[in-house]
Amino acid sequence: MKITIFGTGYVGLVTGACFAEAGYQVMCVDIDKEKIERLKQGIIPIYEPGLDRVVKENYAAQRLHFSTSAGEGVAFGEFQFIAVGTPPDEDGSADLKYVLAVAEEIGRHMEQHRIVIDKSTVPVGTADKVRAKISSVLAERKVDLTFDVISNPEFLKEGSAVADFMKPDRIVIGADSPANAERMRELYAPFNRNHDRLIVMDIRSAELTKYAANAMLATKISFMNEISNLAERLGADVENVRIGIGSDPRIGYQFIYAGCGYGGSCFPKDVQALARTASTIGYEPRLLNAIEAINQDQKTRLFELVSRHFDGAGNLRGKVFALWGLAFKPNTDDMREAPSRVLMEALWAAGARVQAYDPEAMEETQRIYGAREDLVLMGTKEAALKGADGLVICTEWKGFTAPDFAVMAQQLKQPVIFDGRNLYDPSRLQAKGWTYYGIGRGASC
């Protein structure tokens, strides 16, 4: 079986590399010439644990190929995966221009039957649009060729994308015929050996499943953030509440941490896109709107705490803050919609400077913000503390969880931590002479 993947981002590159690792012949196509050139030289454009080896080994073994030519890609694989971005349009809906551009290329270049698979996160009804686009191009070309469109949303998590793809919790297939479902079962067989992980359904349900999954996860986070805001005002500690409710197996411990808001390329855009879909069919998505609104507010929480501690009036001129964690979550270099960006931009607007450290996302930060006087990227987390007025934590990297507080206190001008991820025990820190602000830790701070 030969596979073509359009888009070599977090999803496309991981999908392509993992299919190649299973033994398939895979061609990854991207319109970004520089990215493809660098991939051919073994330079991986993103940080994702384990990806480097899988890409390099399979490229060397000539199972994984890279191209900028859509024609070459369409000619290559019987399976044509669309794994391009679906960024938010101005009104929050998913912008399908990249998806439909690939569909157009497939229609333009196909010379035999092709199975087209939507792996991008796309609104309900997109498979119909992809089908219509390919059909219209084939009609223009006056050729009579058959093709199938299948929905196969991706559930990998940045930071563990390779492991997630290799051992998926589930593989959702939206197919309009048993024969198509069977082709997908065969394709995914290498990743489906331990027990059956394939969940086959109709196409529209598969498209909605992806949005429902992300919206549910975002709901859990915004719910805990709402509880954290109550805890703070009521003199309770949200960490105790978390442990208390997580012990109920109907709730569980996963994904119920309060913090400084969710970011990344998926939750914010997918919650908005689903809300937009709802509005377009005349349904008011009250819960989805609230999830997003709570998250927007939560991202401003750390700045509020900093501002209140130092000034109260939003003037931090001359102050310097150490910032640990730039990526939107650990084990990635992805800065899309990261809470650290909202914090830094607020600190800068208030006249403060930032000394930041992140194990993986500093290059990306540099790319986004360029050179500016009020941002210095430091080589270690300790260096970031030197001469700073306080420490702010935005990402729960493992390396931040057990620092040497005595050394830290010597580096900072005053021993104060604004912890957006509730990494530390407030009472222990207070006993060591620190002023500690967490999220929703009313009883403990």
Using CB under 6 A, list all residues that contact ligand NAD. 6-12, 29-32, 35, 83-86, 98, 101-102, 120-121, 154, 156, 158, 265-266
- The answer to the question of whether 291 is labelled as a binding residue is no
- How far apart (Å, rounded) are the C-alpha atoms in residues 73 and 76? 5
97 is in an annotated binding site: no
Specify the residue, 266 or 417, whose C-beta has the smaller distance to ligand NAD.
Answer: 266
158 marked ligand binding residue: yes
Would you say 203 and 151 are in contact if contact means Cβ atoms under 8 Å apart?
Answer: yes
Core vs surface per residue 200-222: b (16+ CB within 10 A) or e: bbebbebbbbbbebbbebbbbbb
Nearest-approach distance from CB 233 to ligand NAD, in angstroms: 34
Smallest gap from residue 295 Cβ to ligand NAD (A)? 17
Q: Which is nearer to ligand NAD, 84 or 394 (CB)?
A: 84
Q: Which tokens in the block code for residue 229?
A: 């805001």
The CA distance from 261 to 205, in Å, is 29
Cα–Cα nearest to 357, from 342, 376, 343: 376
- Rounded least distance, CB 94 to ligand NAD, Å: 7
Choice between 70 and 439, CB closer to ligand NAD: 70
Nearest to 98 by CA among 203, 211, 9: 9
Closest approach, Cβ 10 to ligand NAD, in A, equals 4
300 is in an annotated binding site: no
Nearest to 280 by CA among 124, 164, 419: 124
CB of 16 to ligand NAD, least distance (A): 11
258 is in an annotated binding site: yes
- Which single residue is written with the structure tokens 């270690």? 380
269 annotated as ligand-binding: yes
Residue 49 beta carbon to ligand NAD: minimum distance, rounded to whole angstroms = 13
Burial class (CB in 10 A: 0-12, 13-18, 19+), 437: buried
Of 32 and 78, the one with the shorter C-beta distance to ligand NAD is 32
Query: Minimal distance in Å, beta carbon 373 to ligand NAD?
Result: 30
Q: Residue 276 CB: number of other CB atoms within 10 A?
A: 18
Length of the chain: 445
Residue whose C-beta lies closest to ligand NAD: 9
Which of residues 10 and 303 has its CB atom nearest to ligand NAD in the complex? Answer: 10
- Which one, 162 or 354, has the nearer CB to ligand NAD? 162
Q: How far is the CB of 48 from ligand NAD (least distance, A)?
A: 9
Give 49 or 351: the residue with its C-beta nearer to ligand NAD.
49
Output the six-digit token pair for 278. 């709802």
133 known member of a binding site: no
167 in a known ligand binding site = no
Separation CA 181–CA 202 (nearest Å): 10
4 is in an annotated binding site: no
When the beta carbons of 11 and 342 are compared against ligand NAD, the nearer one is 11
Is 332 marked as a binding-site residue? no
Catalytic residue, candidates 28, 260, 266, 445: 266
Does the annotation count 266 as an active-site position? Answer: yes
Point out the annotated binding site. Answer: 30, 35, 86, 121, 155-158, 210, 255-259, 263, 269, 329, 336
Active site residues: 266
Point out the annotated binding site for substrate. Answer: 155-158, 210, 255-259, 263, 329
Point out the annotated binding site for NAD(+). Answer: 30, 35, 86, 121, 158, 269, 336
